[in-house]
């Protein structure tokens, strides 16, 4: 859905769509971002197969001037010596994970500084969600956590060509998310939503629920 569509009248409620999304500039910086006048920064996270890449792309496409920064790109840039985080990670794996998140935050800040609304997206889990938030200099910063139920994640994972859960398990990552990740921002159970519906909910609730000072 483009900004042009958002401006159309909501036939069910009789309200301008901007009213539904509370996008009056004085109330909500998303209004100016949707109009391309000033950027906002989204940080989007969730476990593997939660829908981050799809939702992140669709969310970025709602804004006329936007960038989708995919943190996993920085992992894949490592040619020799890559160590991925595992349930029992080595010190080197955690150093690389922190570097990946730091680089992603730096690039996201760069796009924001150039006037782009940014969707910074990766698996920011456990202590690394709050840590990455601290690395982002741009504001307003809106943190959104996609948290579908584990059984729904399993269904989505089964439909994907790439397999993310080896040696991790869905239950293990879900536990890391729900039990060991700081409860910051807007947490959404997207189990029964399409990606487009998730984006609609983000736009309707992100300000002020997702705002992080």
User: Has residue 5 got a pLDDT over 70?
Assistant: no
User: What pLDDT band is residue 136 in, cutting at 50, 70 and 90?
Assistant: very high
Rg (CA), the chain: 17
Average pLDDT, the chain: 88
User: What pLDDT band is residue 7 in, cutting at 50, 70 and 90?
Assistant: very low
Q: Is 153 in contact with 208 (CB distance < 8 Å)?
A: no
Omega cis (within 30) before 185: no
**CATH classification at residue 130:** 3.40.50.300
pTM (2 d.p.): 0.85
The mean-pLDDT minimum among 32-41, 72-81, 154-163 falls in 154-163
Which of the pair, 128 or 162, is modelled with greater confidence? Answer: 128
Per-residue pLDDT, 12? 39
Per-residue pLDDT, 162? 72
Q: How many CA atoms lie within 13 A of 3 on its CB side?
A: 14
User: What are the helix and strand counts (H, E) for the chain?
Assistant: 10, 6
Could you give the percent of the chain with pLDDT greater than 70? 86
Please give the residue range of the domain that contains residue 206.
3-212
CA 73 to chain centre: 15
Per-residue pLDDT, 164? 67
Q: Is 127 in contact with 94 (CB distance < 8 Å)?
A: no
Residues facing residue 68 across a β-bridge: 119
Q: Work out how many domains the chain is built from and give that number.
A: 1
Per-residue pLDDT, 10? 37
Per-residue pLDDT, 168? 86
Give the Cα separation of 93 and 91 in Å (integer): 5
Mean pLDDT (whole number) for 95-107: 98
Residues facing residue 46 across a β-bridge: 146
The tens digit of pLDDT for each residue in 17-54 reads 444 444 444 568 998 999 889 999 999 999 999 999 99
Look at residues 199, 192, 206 and name the one whose alpha carbon lies nearest to residue 62: 199
Look at residues 119, 108, 135 and name the one whose alpha carbon lies nearest to residue 33: 119
Helix, strand and coil content of the chain, in percent to the nearest 5, comes to 45, 15, 40
């Amino acid at each position: 859905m483009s900004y042009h569509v958002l401006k159309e009248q909501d036939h069910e409620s009789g309200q301008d769509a901007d009213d539904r999304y509370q996008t009056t500039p004085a109330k909500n910086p998303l209004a100016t971002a949707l109009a391309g006048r000033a950027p906002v920064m989204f940080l989007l996270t969730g476990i593997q197969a939660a829908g981050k890449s799809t939702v992140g792309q669709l969310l970025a496409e709602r804004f006329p001037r936007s960038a989708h920064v995919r943190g996993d790109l920085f992992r894949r840039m490592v040619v020799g010596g890559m160590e991925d985080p595992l349930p029992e990670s080595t010190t080197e794996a955690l150093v690389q994970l922190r570097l990946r998140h730091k680089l992603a935050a730096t690039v996201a800040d760069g796009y924001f500084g150039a006037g782009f609304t940014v969707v910074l997206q990766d698996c920011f889990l456990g202590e690394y969600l709050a840590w990455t938030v601290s690395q982002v200099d741009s504001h307003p910063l809106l943190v959104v956590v996609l948290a579908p139920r584990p059984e729904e994640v399993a269904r989505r994972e089964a439909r994907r060509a790439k397999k993310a859960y080896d040696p991790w398990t869905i239950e293990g990552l879900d536990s890391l998310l729900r039990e060991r990740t700081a409860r910051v921002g807007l947490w959404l159970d997207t189990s029964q939503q399409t990606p487009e519906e998730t984006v609609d909910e983000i736009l309707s609730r992100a300000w002020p629920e997702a705002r992080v000072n």
